[in-house]
Amino acid sequence: MPKNVLVTGGAGFIGSNFVRYLLAHDQQVKIINLDALTYAGSLANLADLPDPARHTFVKGDICDRALVDGLLREHNIDTIVHFAAESHVDRSILGPGQFVQTNIVGTFTLLDAARQAWLVEKLLPVDQVRFHHVSTDEVFGSLEKDDPAFSETTPYSPRSPYSASKAASDHLARAYYHTYGLPVSITNCSNNYGPYQFPEKLVPLMILNALNGKPLPIYGDGQQVRDWLYVEDHCDAIWQVATRGEVGETYNIGGGNQPPNLEVVDTICDILDELAANSPHKPHRQLKQYVTDRPGHDRRYAMDIRKIESELGWQPRQTLSTGMLKTVQWYLDHADWLAEIRQDSDLTGWMERNYSNRGGEK
Ligand code: NAD
Ligand code: DAU
C-alpha cells in the first residue's frame, strides 16, 4: 500500500478535498502537497485538516523539474496523484497559453521525473509505485441528445483549449505507460461540486450571486447537460483506482445525475429559499438572467461508469439532492473562507473580464 504520496494541486478544489479524504481514510499515508497557489489554490482550503502532521505543503510549480526531482527523492515518493491544472474552460478561451504550459508541460515534467526516479534509477520496486493522472470527461467532446454516454473507449474529441490540453496530458500519461512501462492509471471524471470550489464555476457562483442578490448568468439557453458528482465521491473513486485499479487502464467516473444547467440553478435557488429563509432576494429564481453563450459550448456530457462499478465496486454515495443540500449549507456556513478567497484571487477582476461583454444586466 502507498506510504508517501505526492499530491499535485492539493490546494485547489478537488485536490484539497482529496487531501482531507486521504488523511481521514488512511491512517498511515504521508502526503506531500505540491501546489503553485495560483488564483485557484489557497491555504484556506487546507485549514483544519485531520491529522495535519502527516501533511507537508510545498509551494512550487509542477513544471520545475529540479523541485520535482528533489521531492521524489527527499520523501521517497511511491505514489503520485496528479491534480494540478488550469481547470476553467472560460479562462482557457480568454488565455489558452497557461493551459498548455501547466496541463501539458507540467504533466510531462512529472511523468518524466517519475520515469527517471522509478524506472531509470530504480529507487523503488516498480510494483510498488503508481502515477495516477486525474482527468476529465471533456476530452471526449460533446454528445447529442440521444447519443450513448462516454465510455473508456470513446474516441477523444476535445473542443476547448482546456479540454485539448487535458487530452494531450492523457495521451502523454498513456505513452509513458506503453513506451517505458511507467505504472500509470487514469481517471476521467465528470463535473464535480462541493465544498471549497472556487466561485468561478457554475455551482458556487450561483450560490454566492444569489445570496448577494446578483444576477445568475445562464449561458445560452441553459439546456446544456453535465453529469454532476459530489466531490468526496470523486476522491474516493480516485483512491480506489490508484490503489486497486489495473496499471495502464483508464476508468470513467460520473454521478449519474444529468440535469440541464437551468435545473441545477433552479435547484440551488430552491434550496437557498429554504436554508436562507430571511434572504431579501427570495424567491432566488427571479435572479436568473440569460447571457451570451460560451464559444464552442459543449452541449451534453454523460458518463458510462460500468467499468469502475464492476471492477472496483465503486458507486457514488450522494445523489444530486443530498450533495447539493450539503454544498449549499457549506457555503452558508463558510463566509470566512469566501472572504479569504476573495482577498487572494482577484475574483472581481475575473467577473468583469468574463461577464461584462455577455449582455444582460450587470
Ligand atoms: P482547481 O482549479 O480548483 O485547482 C487546481 C490547483 O492546481 C490549484 O490549487 C492551483 O494552485 C494548482 N496549480 C495550477 N497550476 C499549477 C502548477 N503549474 N504547479 C502546481 N500547482 C498548480 O481545479 P480542480 O477543479 O480542483 O481540478 C483538479 C483536477 O481535476 C484538474 O486536473 C482537472 O482537470 C480535473 N477535473 C476537474 C473536474 C471538476 O469538475 N472540477 C472534473 C474532472 C476532472
Ligand atoms: O466535465 C468536467 C469539467 O467540469 C472539468 O474538467 C472542469 O475542470 C470543470 O471546470 C467543469 O467544466 P464545465 O465547463 O462543465 O464547468 P462550469 O462550472 O464552468 O460550467 C458548468 C456549465 O454551466 C457549463 O455548461 C457552462 C454553464 N455556465 C457556467 C458558468 C460559469 C453558465 O451557464 N453560467 C456560468 O456563469
* Ligand nearest, relative to CA of residue 17: 1
Report CA(265)–ligand 2 centroid distance (Å). 12
Give yes or no for residue 189 CB within 6 A of ligand 1. yes
Contact 44, 337 (CB under 8 A): yes
Ligand 1 neighbourhood includes 10 CB (under 6 angstroms)? no
Confirm or reject CATH 3.90.1150.10 for domain 4-193+230-255+296-318, answering yes or no.
no
Beta-carbon neighbour count of residue 128 at 10 Å? 13
**CA nearest neighbour of 348 among 13, 39, 11, 15:** 39
277-311 b/e (C-beta count within 10 Å ≥ 16 → b): eeeebeebbebbbbbeebeeebebbbbbbebbeee
Indicate which atom in ligand 2 lies nearest the CA of residue 355: 36
Predicted TM-score (pTM) of the model is 0.98
pLDDT tens digits, the chain, 362 residues: what are they?
Answer: 999 999 999 999 999 999 999 999 999 999 999 999 999 999 999 999 999 999 999 999 999 999 999 999 999 999 999 999 999 999 999 999 999 999 999 999 999 999 999 999 999 999 999 999 999 999 999 999 999 999 999 999 999 999 999 999 999 999 999 999 999 999 999 999 999 999 999 999 999 999 999 999 999 999 999 999 999 999 999 999 999 999 999 999 999 999 999 999 999 999 999 999 999 999 999 999 999 999 999 999 999 999 999 999 999 999 999 999 999 999 999 999 999 998 888 899 999 999 999 986 43
Report the residue among 6, 13, 89, 346 best suited for mutation to probe ligand 1: largest number of ligand atoms under 8 A from its CB. 13
Q: How many CA atoms lie within 13 A of 141 on its CB side?
A: 8
How many other CB atoms are found less than 10 A from the CB of residue 39? 17
- Which of 297, 321, 283, 160 lies closest to 220 in space, CA to CA? 297
Instruction: Note whether 55 and 24 are within 8 A (CB).
Output: no
CB-CB contact of 340 with 42 (8 Å): yes
Question: Is 355 among the residues known to form the active site?
Answer: no
Catalytic residue among 21, 162, 196, 230: 162
- CA dihedral (113, 140, 13, 248) positive or negative: negative
> Would you state the cell numbers that stand for residue 296, as one nine-digit string?
464552442
DSSP structural state of residue 156: P
Question: Any catalytic annotation for residue 162?
Answer: yes
Q: Output the CA torsion sign for 134, 90, 355, 350.
A: positive
CB atoms within 10 A of CB 74: 12
- CA–centroid distance, residue 297 to ligand 2 (Å): 9
